[in-house]
Structure 1
Amino acid sequence: MSFFTSLSGMKNSQTDLAVISHNIANAETTGFKKSNTAFADIIATGGSTDPRLTPGIGSSVQSITQDFALGSLVQTGRGLDVAISGDGFLATSSPTTGELTFTRNGALEVLANGSLVDTSGDIVQGFPVDANGVPTSAVPASIVIPTTNGAGAGLSNVSINQQGVVSASFSDGTSQPISQVALASFPATGGLRSIGQTKWEATANSGIAQYGNPGEGSFGAIRNGTLERSNVDLAEEMVGLLTAQRNFQANARALDTATAISQVVLNLQS
């Protein structure tokens, strides 16, 4: 039994090391959220077991949870970089499948067809607005900026203000609001499934997305010309890395001791 107990401890330490290594590897990834590993003990017990004689038989991974704490906000000066100061996610739609995903990485750009996309090429979702930039619908749609205005002047610049309103400027000096960036929140953020590229998708555990305007209610404010850095604290991760390594070594030593005891027993029998 001691072999399997130590082995479970080694496997768990290896999982902890993998999670910490992943955090460290993404310390400079924009919008990344670190993960934490939780463990639970395993007890050999049953309905008729004397609780005074119940042995422990190891541990297991209870959960790997994501920490959605805000990362530091860094000024970039780029007009299409946005960060969310507070809760919420940018909603993006795949141009091929229409599948919705959610991200905190606000490094946006405009494609030749006018689509406002994130770094993965997914189209950012927003609310349609009137001529004053006031939302006219609570249902988000893909943000597509016209490449020419009514007078035929070509698109010259796109900007996003502190309220998340996307405005287009044209070569004849005119400008017009196009959309307001829609933010999404969830009843249980911890239930989101990470799918890589600093993106998440909704699950039954997270609940469906609820959309709102930046800076209203529980939704965070938009910070333009800014990006959110990873929330990984390298000093904290290095301490965790050393702890996980020592745990692995301690379990390996316990396994060596169990092996030595077994060898002694075998030698006595022979």
Structure 2
Amino acid sequence: MSFYTSLSGLRGAQTDLATISNNVANVGSYGFKRSRASFGDIMPASSTTAGQGTRLKGIEQQFTQGGFESSARELDIAISGSGFFVTRDGLTGGTTYFTRNGSLQINPNGYLVDSNGSYMMVLPVDSDGNATARTLGAAQTLQLPESSGTPAATSGIDLSVSLPSSAAVKTGTFDRLDPNTYNYSEQTTVYDSAGNAIPATLYFVRTASVAGGDAADEWEVNMFVGNEQASADPASATPTALTLTFDASGALTAPAGAHTFGDVFPAGASAPLSIALNFGSATQQASAAFAVNSLEQNGVASARLNDISIGDDGLVTATFSDGSTQALGKLMMANFSNPEGLRQAGDGRWTVSGNSGEAQIGTPGGDGFGEIQTGTLERANVEITEELVALISAQRNFQANAKAIETANAMTQSIMNMRS
């Protein structure tokens, strides 16, 4: 029986060596949790016989906190305390995994995923960022929005300018590419119905002067949206300019109110634009230089996504180009009555088993769940010095059991020699 007793010891030492070796091999794996082989003695046949060796009771996982490693990425997060992130390997359905590895990224479709490509699960939130549900069934994937708000096409431009009465009268044909054919220009940005930004340029041409013998002081305004000229006369097949008329005091007499130009469809626009120009309090002054006092347009572009951030409470917030923010969801966290009972799934992931109990769902920082640390990753909870010492101990155990087998073999051989 001593052979089998020592053989069980050899097997136990070999399992111990394999467990320790796996710990050492994963010392650089983020979110990894070390394991420990647990052994028990085999019950002897009677009170007058020695034990019959050792048996493996199980390989227990040690879910102690690992150290933290700083990183420059906002999407690198770690749990300080208890709990697991929840992920799924499919957009609908799929296997649910639990992990401590918070190396996150955005996949090509804009979804927040972990380092294995599994979708991070979040809980829905209200406008104040408070979770509105706390069950596994409420889990949602998180896809980043490309934009925020509803775009609106520009339909009007309000412009107040001061035009100098001393400006020279232009007599040639207007050509926007020839600065000698106009006096001044001013550019702004307008938007189409999809929120696309398009440059709009106004060209001011002095066409008549009372001081020069003309009946009135007049200016023409040519409007280009993109590379297309809008016509002041919608019925005209040829683009025309809008005429501004001033009285002797320099006050605008025509047009009265806003003037709507004909539709213009510049390249890159989603639909034609119909824009009304309102010059409001435009004036012509003797001592003034050309000046734009105000220029406003009523189009709205959708705000583009600039950045996302994750708070210590797990709230994922998107920031847009217009400075607005939007709460997208709270990272879902899970805990278990017996986390050591979770089934390992590889790559720092676990799944539920009958020994772990059902997942208890919550959010970071509340109800016994740890907080989120951004710009940080949790290292493996493997202490390399302790593992090396344990490795030496397991090696010695293996050698001792091998020596016991060798001794038992020598004793048996001696008995056999005595009989012969």
Smaller-chain TM-score bracket: over 0.9
Contact 1:38 1:61 in 2 (8 A): yes
Cα deviation digits, residues 116-151 of structure 1 (max 9, x gap) = 100111111111112221222223222222223234
Q: Which residue number in structure 2 is paired with residue 261 of structure 1?
A: 411
1:215 is aligned to 2:214: no
Match of 2:57 in 1: 62
Indicate whether 1:135 and 2:285 are aligned. no
Report the alpha carbon displacement of residue 173 of structure 1 after superposing the two structures with TM: 3.6
- Residue segments in structure 1 that go unaligned for 5+ positions in a row: none
- Matched positions, count: 265
Contact map agreement 1:192 1:206 (CA 8 A) in 2: yes
Cα distance in structure 2, aligned partners of 1:42 and 1:94: 42
One-letter code aligned to 1:101: Y
After superposition, what is the alpha-carbon deviation per residue over 1:48-78, rounded to whole angstroms, capped at 9, x for unaligned? x4x2x02211111111100000001122131
2:13 aligned partner, one-letter code? S
Q: Work out the CA distance in 2 between the residues paired with 1:19 and 1:154.
A: 50
Kept in 2, the 8 Å contact 1:113–1:147? The answer is no
The aligned counterpart of 1:82 is 77
Equivalent of 2:104 in 104, 108, 126: 108
C-alpha RMSD over aligned residues: 1.4
Show the counterpart of 2:265.
none
Specify which of 184, 187, 194 is matched with residue 334 of structure 2.
Answer: 184
In structure 1, how many angstroms separate the alpha carbons of the residues matched to 2:13 and 2:23? 15
Question: How far, CA to CA, are the matches of 1:91 and 1:259 in structure 2?
Answer: 55
Instruction: Give a deviation string over 1:60-118, Cα, whole Å, max 9, x none.
Output: 11111000000011221311111110000000011265211000000001112221100
What's the TM-score once normalised by structure 2's chain length?
A: 0.61
Deviation of 1:38 after TM superposition, in Å, equals 1.1
Task: Determine whether 1:161 maps to 2:311.
Answer: yes
Shift of 1:10: 0.6
TM-superposed deviation, 1:248: 0.4
Moved more, 137-146 or 125-134: 137-146
- Structure 2 residue 225 is matched with structure 1 residue 225: no
Alignment match of 1:170 (pick from 320, 325, 329)? 320
Partner of 2:66: 71
- Aligned pairs for 1:14-25 (under 5 A) are 14-25=14-25
SS of the residue corresponding to residue 184 of structure 1 reads strand
Please state how far the C-alpha of 1:225 moved relative to its aligned partner: 1.1
Q: Secondary structure at the match of 2:53?
A: strand
SS of the equivalent of 1:126 reads strand
1:170 Cα deviation after fit: 2.8
Distance 1:40 1:162 in 2: 43
Matches within 5 A, 1:39-50: 39-45=39-45, 49=46
Partners of 1:236 and 1:32 in 2: how far apart? Answer: 16
Q: What's the CA shift for 1:154?
A: 3.5
Structure with greater helix share of residues: 1
* TM-score normalised by L of structure 1: 0.94
- Give every structure 1 segment of 4 or more consecutive aligned residues whose post-TM-superposition deviation is greater than 6 Å: none
Supply the distance in 2 between the matched residues of 1:67 and 1:261 (Cα, whole angstroms).
42
Secondary structure of the residue aligned to 1:70 is: coil
Report the 3-state secondary structure (helix = DSSP H, G, I; strand = E; otherwise coil) of the residue aligned with 1:154.
strand
Give yes or no for contact 1:43–1:54 (8 Å, CA) kept in 2: no
Which residue of 174, 194, 201 maps to 2:344? 194
Query: In structure 1, which of residues 110, 113, 123 is the aligned counterpart of residue 119 of structure 2?
Result: 123
- Alpha-carbon deviation of 1:257? 0.6
Separation in 2, partners of 1:3, 1:213: 55
SS at match of 2:63: coil
**Percentage of identical aligned residues:** 45
Q: Distance in 1 between matches of 2:336 and 2:4?
A: 40
229-238 or 159-168: which moved more?
159-168
Distance 2:339 2:43 in 1: 31
Q: Specify every segment of 5 or more residues in structure 2 that has no aligned partner in the other structure, as ranges.
A: 151-301
Instruction: Give the Cα separation in 2 of the matches to 1:136 and 1:109.
Output: 25
Q: Secondary structure in 1 aligned to 2:147?
A: coil
